[in-house]
Amino acid sequence: MAGLLVQAAVISLYLAADSLTSFYTLAVIFGGTYGGVMPLYAVLAREYFGPHVVGTVFGAATMLSSVGMAFGPLAGGWAFDAFASYQWLFIGSALVGLGAVLIALAFPPLPGKEAEPAGAVA
């Protein structure tokens, strides 16, 4: 969830990027966080739904995320054509990221595992 929150925050910070250096710095942070979060989806799919349907669940999640990523350039072009700025694309993307955080918060604890207190070492 922290990774998703960082992604949403970085996307919103693109609104303040005023140089190529700040743009690339944000891109590196976003990309590093994205690379850290994405592999966890397969693990979470298996833990929540079991190994017998992990392919179906992960395939559906991958398909939906691919459709969303394919829609991004279209939305970006439309937003720029309509508003002469990418501001609303960044705002919308940050809201989608916050929505992902809310969805993650709505997931119940894993079956058979109790929530550990913050700072606990397993």
pLDDT for the residue 98: 94
In a domain, 118, yes or no: no
CA distance 111 to 20: 46
pLDDT for the residue 114: 59
pLDDT for the residue 22: 95
3-state class of 1 per DSSP? coil
In a domain, 112, yes or no: no
Supply the pTM of this predicted model.
0.75
In a domain, 116, yes or no: no
In a domain, 117, yes or no: no
CA distance 93 to 17: 15
In a domain, 91, yes or no: yes
pLDDT for the residue 82: 93
pLDDT, tens digit only, all 122 positions of the chain: 899 999 999 999 999 999 999 999 999 999 999 988 888 888 888 888 888 888 899 899 889 889 988 988 898 899 899 999 889 889 988 998 999 899 888 988 876 665 555 555 55
In a domain, 114, yes or no: no
Q: Which domain holds residue 92?
A: 2-106
Residue 59 in tokens: 């395939």
pLDDT for the residue 68: 85
In a domain, 55, yes or no: yes
pLDDT for the residue 118: 56
Contact 110, 47 (CB under 8 A): yes
CA distances from 30 to 3, 18, 38 (A): 9, 17, 12
Number of domains, the chain: 1
In a domain, 23, yes or no: yes
CA distance 105 to 84: 35
Of the candidates 75, 66, 77, the residue with the CA atom closest to the CA atom of residue 95: 75
End-to-end CA distance of the chain: 19
pLDDT for the residue 69: 86
